[in-house]
């Protein structure tokens, strides 16, 4: 092996590249050639110095970078207002659910319905209203349930309101009984609002997308 070939192979080895010659042949040449041995030692020292050279001084820009940052991240204030509004809606819905349960529980326990309704019918009405109250309380505790509860609560309210108005005009129901349904209307409006706010920031799934949003 010539010294020129040996030194090219040594340079490639120092750079972490294939040397192009058998390693044992290269080592035998180094052992027999003092010139290549000295060249290899000098090349190794130069390579080490180049790789271990001290980094140039860099000014500390921490204060300048932190000073250039905005004091408040974009959207943080609007996000805080949205969380506050959601909390207020949930608290109001919680109060509506408790009031709805307070109205339905005595009827369910005693069976004394309004306008002298039969006992079973009064208890059935009480159980139904208590289930509505439970739905309100569940949505207040977990707003993610609002979208799922809305079809049931909304359809019930949409059917009940015209029936109540017709019965009120015909004298089949007392005004205080009809006014009690305002709790239901208020609760459904709150559930619809929470469902809308929960879906407002979510992109609609693409047509044919099989993934189901959690």
pLDDT score for 214: 40
With 50 as the cut, is the pLDDT of residue 187 above it? yes
Any alpha helices (H) in 52-143, and if so which ranges? Answer: 62-68, 76-110, 119-141
Give the pLDDT mean for 159-187: 78
| Integer Cα distance of 173 and 164 in angstroms | 8
**What is the per-residue pLDDT across 84-121, written as a single tens digit (0 to 9) for each?**
888 999 999 999 999 988 888 777 666 555 544 555 56
With 50 as the cut, is the pLDDT of residue 77 above it? yes
Q: pLDDT tier at 209 (50, 70, 90 boundaries)?
A: very low
| 3-state SS, residue 142 | coil
| Integer Cα distance of 32 and 156 in angstroms | 99
């Amino acid at each position: 092996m010539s010294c020129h070939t040996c030194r090219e192979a040594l340079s490639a080895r120092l750079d972490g590249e294939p040397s192009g010659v058998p390693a044992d042949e290269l080592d035998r040449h180094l052992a027999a050639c003092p010139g290549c041995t000295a060249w290899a030692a000098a090349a190794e020292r130069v390579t080490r110095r180049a790789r271990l050279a001290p980094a140039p001084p860099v000014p500390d820009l921490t204060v300048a970078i932190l000073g250039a940052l905005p004091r408040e991240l974009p959207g943080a204030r609007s996000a805080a207002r949205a969380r506050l509004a959601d909390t207020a809606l949930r608290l109001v819905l919680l109060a509506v659910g408790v009031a709805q349960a307070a109205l339905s529980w005595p009827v369910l326990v005693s069976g004394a319905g309004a306008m002298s309704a039969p006992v079973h019918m009064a208890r059935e009405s009480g159980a139904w209203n208590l289930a509505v109250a439970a739905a309100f309380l569940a949505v207040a505790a977990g707003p993610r349930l609002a979208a799922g509860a809305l079809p049931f609560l909304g359809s019930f309210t949409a059917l009940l309101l015209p029936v109540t108005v017709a019965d009120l005009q015909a004298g089949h129901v007392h005004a205080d009984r009809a006014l009690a349904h305002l709790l239901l209307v208020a609760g459904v409006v709150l559930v619809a609002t929470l469902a809308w706010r929960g879906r407002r920031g979510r992109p609609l799934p693409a047509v044919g997308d099989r993934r189901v949003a959690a």
